[in-house]
Amino acid sequence: MSSTPASSLLENASSTVLSSATTELILEAAENFHSFSKRRNIYGYELSRPGNVIFFLLFACITIFNIVMAFRSKQVWYNVCFICGFLLETLGYLGRLLGFKSDPGMSSYILQSFGLTIAPAFIMAGIYFLFAQSVTIHGSQYSVLKPMWYSYFFITTDVFSMFVQGGGGGLSAMASRGASIGNLGNTIMFIGILIQIVAMTIFLVFWFIFLGRTFFHDRHAVPGNWDYKKRGVVNYCKLLFNVPSARSYKLVQLEQFYNPKYQGVRYRSLYSYFPFALSLAVVLVYIRCVYRVVELRQGYSGYLMKHEIYLFVLDSLLILLTGLIFVPFHPMFVFGRDHILTSKDIKREQKGDKQAPVQQELVSYTGADDLEKANAYAARKHQEYQARVSL
């Protein structure tokens, strides 16, 4: 009988301890929920700290690289555009990192929204001018438009889309507080990115037409039975990817038809792969913009907007890869430090390009039977150019 009070006392003590522990857990959960709910109200999901930190650091590194290259190279327009583009990406992720604060506020959300939305427009503005330079290096006879027209049209469209996206981004940020004006901002931002996609689509069409003409426009004047004289998707891809036999064909046979003033640029090793690098970069940015259009079309309650992984994979990763492509393929490395094509140079070349192409001192081979001989010739010409440059 004496054990009953002891058991009761033990039971009461255990209940008190459990009650205290439960209260602690409830308070901790409430605090965590309060912190989480604030972030959830803005983004619609809990931010991934590792993912945001990694992208912030990588974009910061690319920004620093472009700033350093701005002091080393004279590609002013390209450098300014890429610095602005990747600085905005960095600031965008800084805004997301500030979202981890207990009470981040709207300023950090607006920073990330504006930065990540506008950044690709600056990157494309730099790429558009590279297109004009490539046209001049080969010759305007291969282009649908005059070289500077690409810059005028596409950069103007790009700037316009930036203002539209920026205005829409500012308004859409208010949607996190339930303001109806946020829906209007979402629509405006959607229209801005749609304008950018239309411009990029036209750009890609002109770009691939230009490349096709540099590959096949003069094929009937090429002697022998080279397989690359046949216009087709397979040959186009081989010439674009710059496989060894295609590189020899371009250096040995097609080189004589291009702008002789910039032969030194075309003989540089990186330039042979530059068309593919630029094509890949534009396609990556294009996919990113398509993702953004679909995301905005779904709205803030859409599946894409509510899952951060899609922002990482279909937006930030693609822009990051674009930036990494132009680390080895920075214009200074591709064209050379001494080959600077400004808008004035391009306009001057436009006037001089109307004359007949100057024939180079290049040897013509008969095709597959002499492929080894052609490869040796192309390698020798490349070595001669490298020797001249090193003097």
CATH of the domain at 207: 1.20.1070
**Confidence bin at 23 (pLDDT 50/70/90):** low
The CA-atom distances, in angstroms, between 388 and each of 239, 384, 385 are 26, 6, 5
Asked whether the predicted pLDDT for residue 323 surpasses 60, the reply is: yes
Least confident span in 76-85, 163-172, 261-270, 284-293: 163-172
Residue 295's pLDDT is: 87
In this prediction the pTM is 0.78
| Residue 37 falls inside a structural domain | no
**Residue 215 CB: number of other CB atoms within 10 A?**
23
Among 123, 138, 196, CA closest to 165: 196
What integer is the mean pLDDT of 144-166?
82
Q: Is residue 19 part of a domain?
A: no
Cα Dmax for the chain: 119
Which position has the higher pLDDT, 53 or 194?
A: 53
Structural domain contains residue 312: yes
pLDDT at 385: 47
Instruction: Tell the burial category of 336 from Cβ atoms under 10 Å away from its Cβ (0-12, 13-18, 19+).
Output: middle
Q: How high is the pLDDT of residue 124?
A: 92
Flag whether 20 is in a domain.
no
User: Residue 45 is encoded by which pair of tokens?
Assistant: 């999901």
Indicate whether 369 pLDDT > 50.
no
Q: What is the pLDDT of residue 5?
A: 62
Per-residue model confidence (pLDDT) at position 359: 39
Report the SS3 class of residue 298: helix
Mean per-residue pLDDT, 323-327:
97
- The candidate with the shortest Cα–Cα distance to 57, out of 326, 323, 328, is 323
The pLDDT tens digits for 262-321 are: 888 899 889 999 999 999 999 999 999 999 888 888 877 788 888 899 999 999 999 999
pLDDT of residue 166: 76
What's the whole-number mean pLDDT along residues 348-358? 51
In a domain, 18, yes or no: no
**Amino acid 236: pLDDT:** 96
Give the confidence band of 104 by pLDDT, cuts at 50, 70, 90: low
> What local confidence, expressed as pLDDT, does residue 321 receive?
98
69: containing domain? 43-390
Q: Is residue 29 part of a domain?
A: no
Total residues found in the chain within this entry = 391
Q: What average pLDDT is seen over the chain? A: 80
Q: Examine residue 31 and state whether it is found in any structural domain, yes or no.
A: no
Range from 36-45, 140-149, 219-228 carrying the lowest mean pLDDT = 36-45
Confidence of residue 225 (pLDDT cuts 50, 70, 90): confident
Give the model's pLDDT for residue 310.
94
**209 lies in a domain?**
yes
Domain count, the chain: 1
Highest mean pLDDT among 15-19, 81-85, 193-197: 81-85
pLDDT of residue 20: 61
